[in-house]
Amino acid sequence: MRLILLGLPGAGKGTQAKVLADRHGLLHISTGDMFRQAAAEGTELGLRAQGFMSRGELVPDEVTIGMLLERVARPDAAAGIMLDGFPRTIPQAEALDRALADRGEQIDGVLYIQVPEQLLMSRLTGRWSCSKCGAIYHELTNSPAQTGVCDECGGELTQREDDRPDTVQARLNTNREWTEALARYYGAQAKLREIDGTGEPSEVTARLEAALPEAGKGVH
Ligand code: AP5
Ligand code: MG
Ligand code: ZN
């Protein structure tokens, strides 16, 4: 099964991808996480991406598409993937479709997590993530037992540089129209499912489960 999680910054893609990918044996691939890791390692790719990310802009397609296609072609992606944050432009979606079609594969479903924009700012400015395992928290709605420490692994919790209010606003502006364009693109392929992303994370998970394409049902 090959799925895409679509949604604006803060919609809950990362939170939900962790749960769903685990349950269904899919490889969770987040291009944002890949860029952040590359930046932390100081690679050329990471340093190039970091400038765009800190301004709330998209990393150029010629960088992003190559990186993602290389990742989904590796053996550990063969059993199924859950894409989080890719595609983010129509050229990215077209390149993905072409690369999968060349191997006789396709995207099975696109789950569009919808959250009113006025909720996204506080979700993002209150987010903390584990620097070791990537677990995602929120200082008000999903706080760890001990401030600054990951419940899962004891790692240190940090805030993302691009979660400052001005950068969040820039990210929303960057992604608003592309997200709608992608919804139309996958709607035209009859692959789009729109999911209400408000309420408790577990409620959103249940809605996503109910919207999975037939291929994914019952594979727990
Ligand atoms: P990326 O890392 O993908 O960031 P994003 O799309 O802005 O999305 P986020 O990770 O901020 O939000 P999320 O939807 O994962 O929400 P989360 O689950 O964490 O990309 C970062 C940057 O990299 C981009 O800006 C761009 O520069 C670059 N990039 C990446 N991919 C690219 C691409 N394909 N092309 C070009 N450039 C690319 O949840 C957020 C918060 O809300 C958390 O605190 C969480 O605890 C809380 N929360 C989650 N669910 C709920 C709920 N139901 N109720 C209340 N709170 C909740
Ligand atoms: Mg994320
Ligand atoms: Zn952790």
- Could you give the count of Cα atoms lying within 13 Å of 126 in the half-sphere of its Cβ? 13
Give tens-digit pLDDT for 93-145.
999 999 999 999 999 999 999 999 999 999 999 999 999 999 999 999 999 99
57 Ramachandran zone, left/alpha/beta (phi>0; psi -120 to 50): beta
pLDDT of residue 107: 98
Q: Distances from the Cα of 87 to the Cαs of 4, 148, 167, 186, in angstroms?
A: 8, 32, 21, 11
Confidence at residue 112, expressed as pLDDT on a 0 to 100 scale? 98
Residue 74 annotated among the catalytic residues of the structure: no
Share of the chain above pLDDT 90, in %: 96
Nearest to 68 by CA among 25, 99, 104: 99
Q: Where are the domains of the chain?
A: 2-26+79-215
| Å from CA of 206 to ligand 2 middle | 19
116 membership: H or E segment, kind and range: none
- State residue 215's pLDDT score: 63
From 18, 88, 123, 193, the catalytic residue:
88
Query: Structurally, what CATH architecture does the domain formed by 2-26+79-215 represent?
Result: 3-Layer(aba) Sandwich (3.40)
Residue ID of nearest Cα to ligand 1 atom 2: 32
Task: Give the up-direction half-sphere exposure of residue 34: CA atoms within 13 A in the CB hemisphere.
Answer: 20
* Predicted local distance difference test score (pLDDT) of residue 214: 77
Question: What tens digit of pLDDT does each residue of 44-82 get?
Answer: 999 999 999 999 999 999 999 999 999 999 999 999 999
